[in-house]
Amino acid sequence: MSTVFEWEKPLVELEDKIKELRTFITDQGIDFSQELTELEHKAERLRKEIYEKLTPWQQVMMARHPKRPTTDDYVKLVFDDFIELHGDRTYRDDQAIIGGIGVFEGEPVTIIGPQKGRDTKENIARNFGLPHPEGYRKALRLMKQAERFHRPIIALIDVVGAYPGIEAEQRGQGLVIAECIEQMSFLKVPIICIITGEGGSGGALAIGVGDRILMFEHAWYSVISPEMCANILWKDSSRASEAASLLKLTPTYLLQFGIIDDVITEPLGGAHRDHNAMGLQLKAFLRRYLTEIRKIPIDELVAQRLNRFRQIGQFQERALPNLEKDGD
Amino acid sequence: MLRVFRSKPKYVTVRSSAQQQPSKIDDDQPERAKKEVPDNLWARCEKCSTLIYNKEMEKTKHVCANCGYHFRIPALERLRFICDEDTYKPFTPLVATNPLGFPGYESKLEQTRINTRLDDAIVIGTTRIHGYATVLGIIDFSFFGGSMGSVVGEQLTRGFEYGIKHRLPVIVFSGGGGGARMQEGIFSLMQMAKTAQAVGKFKEAGLFYISILTHPTMGGIYASFSSLGDIILAEPNALIGFAGPRIVEETTRQKLPADFQTSEYALHNGMLDRIVTRGDMKDVIGKLLSYHLR
Ligand SMILES: [Zn+2]
């Protein structure tokens, strides 16, 4: 199965033509190299034209591309070793979030992240990567374990939101997310959060409090998904593309707002086009930022982390009284 | 001196039958707010349909004398029920800006400020309750569904910081916390972290925080400061949860339990310390404060 978005079609057609020409050249032994070079240049131009000017909604679609690497792909691509650890020690093992200890450049680190499936069967087992409270409890348990053994934490975030289910509510989805956010904020270990795909609301923020917050080029991060936003604004989720523009959920905006620290560029056309290149890129960014924050004394690092969030918000002091006052 | 404590409220809240069931109210539907009628009319209880004379409602703190249904009340009115007379001092008022340039947000803010006579969805300051000094914050549903944007996040954070500085407890009524202020996008989301961290620092300082959940406490408000109280209380029949019931129903295609996401449901599932009626609330708070004197 291959997913081709509408806006990619001219490019894909051109790429197919190039492939055909190549085969033709090999088979027939006729020299069409000039034509081939021309076509390749044209494809290159088209690729830039298309992928460097994606609309916010196209960005969201890219973040959801079915062939986009998932959390455990990055675990394999970036870390030398990984031992997965399961369960929240209270209720069950939520496979919508994975976690464990990996080795990054010779040093053990704790890795956590929501895990989407690659096919229907895996998606059902992993609940489409939508965590229940026990998933967040597992993540929190592993993060506290990391703190105990002074291991940095790497949170790979790709989640449209916490699961809106009856049992999830019954078992305290809101409470657990609050606890995750609070406790992660004070952990005395370096934390790097990376939004690799979707960053949807509290379900993402629950594992999104860190010392460096990075975001993939074709990822989105907002308080609400564009579909839900459109549903609220116009009672019409098919207008999600308009909502995506209003929400300013792309890395360019979020960098400007000071919400994230850096944007991790993707191979032209998106991470799904070249998993290995994407892995190398992620590795380079992790190396750089982990080295940077490891130098900071831990109490100072936690203070900086808290201060960062303390500063977020835009408001004004109101000069004139609004409530009626008595004459006295 | 604020007139809040002297004058009677001009309006009483009456919700239409469509809003009776907590399950019909969604955190994503902040505009499905109250309808106001002049106070010389009768109000109809949303649960048992009893007609109640509004003078009577004053005495019962907007609780149906017949069935105990708790009507939603404005934050300023709740102040009168909770604070010792003439002791409330508001913090410096803050107003929202439009960080995303969201179309229509400024004009809607302006209109809502006029309609509600509030600066934003929170009323916050210091007061005394049965003589005990405390910081008190109350969220008001009538302002953008009681959603948390930068102003609510900042005011609550200042509340906890004030508590640390002056060694005071903090009490927050998540009265109608509709969740996120969508128009502020990512800034709204980040207030969850900001307020949760403010609570964390407050607890580190060894101070006491009571979170009280009233109808409805949902979404980002439930999944941050309001779930982090040393003690978490709720009014009866409040809607409490993370995902809105409509979303849950649409996602799971399951029939929701009749008491789904009510205070009683949350208590049964171990998510609350106690359910406290509006009539008892001030005394219970006073008692809890007396056990935690610093
Ligand atoms: Zn009644």
**Domain spans of chain A?**
6-53, 60-311
Ligand 1 centroid, distance to B201 Cα (angstroms)? 42
**Among B50, B71, B92, residue at a domain's last position:** B71
Residue A170: its pLDDT value, please?
97
Res. B36: pLDDT tops 90: no
Does any CB of chain B come closer than 8 Å to the CB of residue A327?
Answer: no
Domain assignment of residue B51, given as a range:
40-71
**Among B55, B71, B87, residue at a domain's last position:** B71
pTM (2 decimals)? Answer: 0.90
Cβ partners under 8 Å of residue B137, min gap 6: B122, B123, B124, B155, B156, B159, B170, B171, B172, B173
- Tell me, yes or no, whether B233 and B105 share the same domain: yes
Counting every residue written for chain A, the total comes to 328
- Tell me, yes or no, whether B148 and B276 share the same domain: yes
Greater model confidence, B176 or B219 = B219
Q: Hey, what are A192's tokens?
A: 């790097």
Mean pLDDT of B198-224: 97
Burial of A46 (0-12, 13-18, 19+ CB in 10 A): middle
Among the listed ranges A270-279, B5-14, B58-67, B117-126, which one has the minimum average pLDDT value?
B5-14
Res. B3: pLDDT tops 50: no
Residues of A in contact with B201 (CB under 8 A): 306
- Tell me, yes or no, whether B103 and B133 share the same domain: yes
Ligand 1 centroid, distance to B286 Cα (angstroms)? 28
Q: Which of these, B211, B257, B255, lies nearest to B234 by C-alpha position?
A: B211
- Tell me, yes or no, whether B147 and B282 share the same domain: yes
Which residues 142-171 of A have a C-beta within 8 angstroms of B? Answer: 162-166, 168-171
State which residue of chain A sits closest to B222, comparing Cα positions.
A174
Q: Which of these, B163, B254, B271, B164, lies nearest to B217 by C-alpha position?
A: B271
Is B260 within the bounds of a domain? yes
Residue pair A161/A224 in contact by the 8 Å Cβ criterion? no
- Tell me, yes or no, whether B63 and B183 share the same domain: no
d(CA B64, CA B47): 9
Residues of B in contact with A140 (CB under 8 A): none
Q: Hey, what are B197's tokens?
A: 């961290």
- Tell me, yes or no, whether B170 and B210 share the same domain: yes
Q: Which of these, A233, A252, A222, lies nearest to A160 by C-alpha position?
A: A222
- Tell me, yes or no, whether B63 and B85 share the same domain: no
Residue B42: its pLDDT value, please?
82
Q: What is the pLDDT of residues A279-293, one digit of tens each?
A: 999 999 999 999 999
Mean pLDDT of B184-190: 97
CATH superfamily of A60-311: 2-enoyl-CoA Hydratase; Chain A, domain 1 (3.90.226.10)
Q: What is the pLDDT of residues A229-282, one digit of tens each?
A: 998 889 898 999 999 999 999 999 999 999 999 999 999 899 999 999 999 999
- Tell me, yes or no, whether B212 and B246 share the same domain: yes
Q: Answer yes or no: do A246 and B103 touch at CB < 8 A.
A: yes
d(CA B249, CA B234): 24
Residue A2: its pLDDT value, please?
67
Residues of A in contact with B185 (CB under 8 A): 222-224, 247-249
Ligand 1 centroid, distance to B52 Cα (angstroms)? 9
Cβ partners under 8 Å of residue A24, min gap 6: A30, A32
Choose the mutation target among B86, B88, B186 for the interface with A, i.e. most A CBs under 10 Å: B186
- The count of C-alpha atoms lying within 13 angstroms of the C-alpha of B225, restricted to the half-sphere facing its C-beta, is 40
Ligand 1 centroid, distance to B259 Cα (angstroms)? 17
Residues of A in contact with B140 (CB under 8 A): none
Please report which confidence band the pLDDT of residue B146 belongs to, taking 50, 70 and 90 as the band edges: very high
Q: Answer yes or no: do B193 and A173 touch at CB < 8 A.
A: no
CATH code of the domain covering residue B170: 3.90.226.10
d(CA A88, CA B135): 36
The percent of residues above 70 in pLDDT, for chain A, comes to: 97
With H, G, I as helix, E, B as strand and everything else as coil, classify residue A109. Answer: strand
Which residues 298-317 of A have a C-beta within 8 angstroms of B? Answer: 306, 309-310, 312-317
Which residues 226-245 of A have a C-beta within 8 angstroms of B? Answer: 228-229, 231-232
Residue B176: its pLDDT value, please?
67
Residue A320: its pLDDT value, please?
59
Q: What is the pLDDT of residues B81-104, one digit of tens each?
A: 999 999 999 999 999 999 999 999
Among the listed ranges A52-61, A70-79, A133-142, B150-159, which one has the minimum average pLDDT value?
A52-61
For residue B22, the one-letter residue type is P
Res. A50: pLDDT tops 50: yes
The percent of residues above 90 in pLDDT, for chain B, comes to: 75
Residue B18: its pLDDT value, please?
34
Is B6 within the bounds of a domain? no
Question: What DSSP designation does B209 have?
Answer: E
Does any CB of chain B come closer than 8 Å to the CB of residue A182?
Answer: yes
Ligand 1 centroid, distance to B14 Cα (angstroms)? 12
Is B18 within the bounds of a domain? no
Q: Answer yes or no: do B254 and A166 touch at CB < 8 A.
A: yes
Number of domains in chain B: 2
Mean pLDDT of A316-324: 68
Q: Answer yes or no: do B261 and A169 touch at CB < 8 A.
A: yes
- Tell me, yes or no, whether B94 and B180 share the same domain: yes
ipTM: 0.93
Tell me the average pLDDT of chain B.
Answer: 87
Q: Answer yes or no: do A185 and B93 touch at CB < 8 A.
A: no
Does any CB of chain B come closer than 8 Å to the CB of residue A224?
Answer: yes
Choose the mutation target among B23, B192, B232 for the interface with A, i.e. most A CBs under 10 Å: B192
Res. A22: pLDDT tops 70: yes
Nearest to A315 among B102, B154, B218 (CB): B154
